[in-house]
Amino acid sequence: MSKIIIETKVIKINDLYNDSIEYACNILRKGGLVAFPTETVYGLGALALNPDAVRRIFEVKGRPQDNPLIVHLSCLEQLESVAYLEPRYLNIIKKLTPGPVTFVLKKKKNIPLVVTAGLDTVGVRIPAHPVAQRLSQCAGPIAAPSANLSGRPSPTDAKSVIEDLYGRVECIIDAGESAFGIESTIIDLTKEKPLVLRPGPVTIEELNEIFGEFGGVEYYVPKSNEKPLAPGMKYRHYAPEKNLSLVEKDKISDYANKDVLILCTRETYEKYLKGAKNVHIIGEFGKPYTIAQNLYKSLRFVDKSSYPEAVIEKLPEEGIFFSIMNRIKKAVSKQ
């Protein structure tokens, strides 16, 4: 891992029209790196059309070279400057943007190959977060992966970004907690049928409705001998350093007051663990988006706690829970 070498400016932002946006844009224009908020997780941005700046993202994160980056844009016109948009999908893309969705489209020539890791497609996203919007509007298309060191849980607040990237990037913009807390849903629109490569805040059920006229979406699961369509899928993700295992709700009381940290929903705590000290609440079962919002902070907490290992409650696999379980399973399997 590279040494701490540069000065990092942390900017707290609550006014979009103040000098801070201009300050961050200037860093980007000079080829620097800016960590910024989006409504999913924080991103680590460089100007997408500057290959040297983009290369630094890979270095700073310790990211494998074959894992492509998502390009963040402020509007559809900007999106069309970097990717080909098939007219048949235009209305749907309008419905889903701005928001927590990434589309894989055929790339235009101006996008450097380092951004797409050599692929002829590019992941594009128009985030709804006003800071992300303003940055790409003022500075141009921004290539950005999540703003964590490779393999770690994605950051959902500036504190988590600071833990991973302080001293490695020029600027970190702090705009509080991310609203969704898990990364965007990725839909590949370059195939016969829309393929969901990564489940996220917009659920498969919602997408099946939205893509109704195309017969819905397919959820992509790579075959064991196949190179996955989203190269990032093959890498270790989200896992704490300590051992973490998945436990069925009705077995969770076996761990009460043991030397194990229990990550569970408030409802499970009330029903099975009331009074136990070794519990960390990850959100409310009845409000599953609160679990998405807290998940990565909870996974980071595993390594900060004094417990040598942790267990996490198994959740059902439908709706937004499906996306949450997708991340939990990766964290548990250490893959």
The mark string for 69-108 relative to ligand TXA (x by CB under 6 A, - otherwise) is xx-------------------------------x-x----
Candidates 146, 178, 268, 298: give the one binding Mg ion (CB under 5 A): 146
Q: What does the alpha-carbon distance between residue 317 and residue 35 come to, in Å, rounded to a whole number?
A: 32
The mark string for 236-275 relative to ligand TXA (x by CB under 6 A, - otherwise) is ----------------------------------------
Q: Which does 69 bind (CB under 5 to 8 A by kind): Mg ion, ligand TXA, none?
A: ligand TXA
Q: Which is nearer to Mg ion, 146 or 203 (CB)?
A: 146
- To ligand TXA, the closest distance from the beta carbon of 307 in angstroms equals 28
Q: Which does 125 bind (CB under 5 to 8 A by kind): ligand TXA, Mg ion, none?
A: ligand TXA
Check if the beta carbon of residue 265 is closer than 8 Å to that of residue 281. yes
Pairing of strands 171-174, 9-12: parallel
Distance of CA 139 to the CA centre of its chain: 22
Cis ω for the linkage preceding 98 (within 30 of 0): yes
* Cβ-closest position to ligand TXA: 232
If binding is defined by CB under 6 A, does position 232 make contact with ligand TXA? yes
Candidates 20, 40, 160, 278: give the one binding ligand TXA (CB under 6 A): 40
Q: Which is nearer to Mg ion, 297 or 314 (CB)?
A: 297
If binding is defined by CB under 5 A, does position 20 make contact with Mg ion? no
Which has the closest alpha carbon to 181: 44, 315, 295?
295
If binding is defined by CB under 6 A, does position 114 make contact with ligand TXA? no
Pairing of strands 101-107, 121-125: antiparallel
The mark string for 168-207 relative to Mg ion (x by CB under 5 A, - otherwise) is ----------------------------------------
Residues engaged in binding ligand TXA (CB under 6 A): 38, 40-41, 43, 67-70, 102, 104, 116, 119, 121-123, 125, 144-146, 183-184, 186, 197, 229-233
